Amino acid sequence: MNVKDALLQRQSVRAFLDKPVSHETIHRILDAARHAPSGANTQPWRVAVVSGNKKLRLQQLLDNEFRNGIKPAMDYHYYPTQWKDPYKARRIACGLQLYKTLSIAKEDKQRRDDQWAANYRAFDAPVVLFFFLDSGLETGSFLDYGMFIQSVMLVAVEEGLAACPQAALAEYPQVVKRELGYPDDSVLLCGMALGYKDNYALVNSYRTPREAVEAFTRFYE
Q: Does residue 221 belong to any structural domain of this protein?
A: no
Q: What is the pTM of this model?
A: 0.95
Phi, psi at residue 31, to the nearest 5°? -65, -35
* Structural domain harbouring 49: 3-216
Average pLDDT over residues 18-39: 98
Q: Does residue 29 belong to any structural domain of this protein?
A: yes
Q: Does residue 85 belong to any structural domain of this protein?
A: yes
Q: Does residue 14 belong to any structural domain of this protein?
A: yes
Average pLDDT over residues 16-39: 98
Q: Does residue 208 belong to any structural domain of this protein?
A: yes
Average pLDDT over residues 23-30: 98
> Residue 33's domain is classified under what CATH number?
3.40.109.10
Overall number of domains in the chain:
1
**Side-chain half-sphere CA neighbours of 79 within 13 A:** 15
Average pLDDT over residues 161-185: 97
Who contacts 89 (Cβ-Cβ below 8 Å, separation ≥6)? Answer: none
